[in-house]
Amino acid sequence: MEAVYEDFQCPICHLPLKEPVQTRCGHRYCKGCLDEDIRRKRSQGRSLTCPSDRQNLDPDKDIFPDKATERKILSLAIRCPNDSCGWTGELRNKEVHLRSCPVHQVLCSNKNCGVIVIRRLLKQHETLRCVWRILQCTHCSESHPACKMPEHFKQCNKFPVTCPNNCGRSVSRDMVSTHTEDECPRTILSCPFARVGCKQKVQRQEMESHLDSTTRVHLDFTYSKNNNTEDELMDTKTKLIETKAELSKTKAELSKTKAELSKTKAELSKTKVELSETKVELKEAVKQLKLLSVKHTNSFLWRIDGFSEILKRAQTDKDENDICSDPFYTKIGTESYGYKLKVEFYPNGFGNGKNTHLSVSIIVMKGEYDVILPWPFAENVKLTLIDQQENPGQRQNKTKEFVGKDLKSFARPVTDENIGWGFDEFVSREELYARRFIVDDTLFLQVEIKSTSS
């Protein structure tokens, strides 16, 4: 009701000051309006100045709450903004009044409603008129909004429906099947004498009349059924006697089979013993055959076919980086016994020769004659990669030699074979392809063993 002095109006929003603040230069603003002005200028990269006289402002030092002005503004006399309300009072009490003003517009509290009504009509709207007010189903007691109740009635289990047989009864939806199966007088039923031949079906309410009028027919059906049952029983007895006879015969055959099975088991046990003995003999024969198949020579020639594929696998598969020759036995003097050896070949190199050289090693293996041989292995070993020039006089073989020594590689083997020993840089890749060491994708590697005692 009181006029608001110009000094109490915000220069930004032109409304009475709300939470007034005063700048160092003496101008008053709503705190929210001045904060928004500062935020906007900062976002635009502009200087922070007073909106009235453009003097520079430091928000932390040049702006102060104006409590005196706020008290004066809150003491202004006003009346309720709702036209039909006669309340008057100080501005400070406006919000308190509006929370109880009977003509103030408020939002319906029912979920999903959104209707705005004056406060004194709110309760009436929420409980009687609002389509979103919660109602309790009178049949099943479930709660639903008023606007959803018709839809609920369409599927409510307790909602009363008329019997589908039109018997005149009204039952709850979930009891319809029970009613029609157990109670409804119009349900069609089969005659209790259907098992003996009556094919008629009548309504429940007519069943007693049907039974009274067809007593003679039902007795005839029953008599005929009993006669048929007696005939079937006689047939069953006859089949039972036959089955017993067959069972007795089967038992006799089973006893005979058991005796034969027992005999077969004994023969099988004997065969197993003979087979075990045969396996031992065969194992020994294989051992001797392997011994005879191993060469006895001091000059072993190993032909390596398909070198390009072997090299490719060694370069791409770490599990196939080497190949080994067949084992062979050396000869001691003129005797056909000696050390068991094999050659190990790394096409892509090993150790210092990896990716640049061919590497070659000799492996000492556990042999049949180890017990009578001198140890460690101390023979002279000569490894030769043969140059395959057609003219033998032009060949430039690649040869390297070593003598067995007191190393673990040359000690008497305690496992199937020792660790190999040889040359990581036996021949370089460039030298390999410079001569005719590879012809038709084949190499020849010769191992010569010479006794150091001769």
The DSSP string of 260-292 is: HHHHHHHHHHHHHHHHHHHHHHHHHHHHHHHHH
Q: What digits encode the pLDDT tens for the residues 119-142?
A: 888 888 988 889 899 999 999 999
Q: With bands split at pLDDT 50, 70 and 90, how would you rate the model's confidence at 282? A: confident
Please check the confidence at residue 334 and state whether its pLDDT lies above 80. Answer: no
| Residue whose pair of structure tokens reads 């039109």 in the numeric block | 166
Average pLDDT of the residues in 212-216: 87
Neighbours of 209 (CB within 10 A): 11
Strand partners, 329: 296, 340
Return the exposure string of 213-237: e unless at least 16 CB atoms fall within 10 Å of the residue's CB, then b.
ebeeebeebeeeeeeeeeeeeeeee
Task: Give the SS3 label for residue 381.
Answer: strand
C-beta of residue 174 within 8 angstroms of C-beta of residue 150? no
Q: What mean pLDDT value characterizes the chain?
A: 90
3-state secondary structure of 222: helix
> 184-193, 320-329, 425-434: which range is least confident on average?
184-193
Give the bridge partners for 21, in sequence order: 29, 65
**Containing H/E element for 343?**
strand 340-346
pLDDT tens-digit map of 4-40 = 677 788 999 988 889 999 999 989 999 999 999 999 9
Q: Cβ distance 410 to 404 under 8 Å?
A: yes
Q: Beginning with the edge strand found earlier in the chain, give each strand of the sheet holding 380-385 in spatial order.
A: 299-304, 443-450, 380-385, 398-403
Average pLDDT over residues 184-205: 88
In which band, very low, low, confident or very high, does the pLDDT at 217 lie, cut at 50, 70 and 90? confident
Q: Tell me, what amino acid is at 216? A: R
> pTM of the full predicted structure?
0.41
R_g (Cα) of the chain, nearest Å: 57
The pLDDT confidence band at residue 426, using thresholds 50, 70 and 90, is very high
Closest CA to 442 of 302, 304, 301: 304
**Which pLDDT score, from 0 to 100, does residue 33 have?**
95
pLDDT in tens, 377-399: 999 999 999 999 999 999 999 99
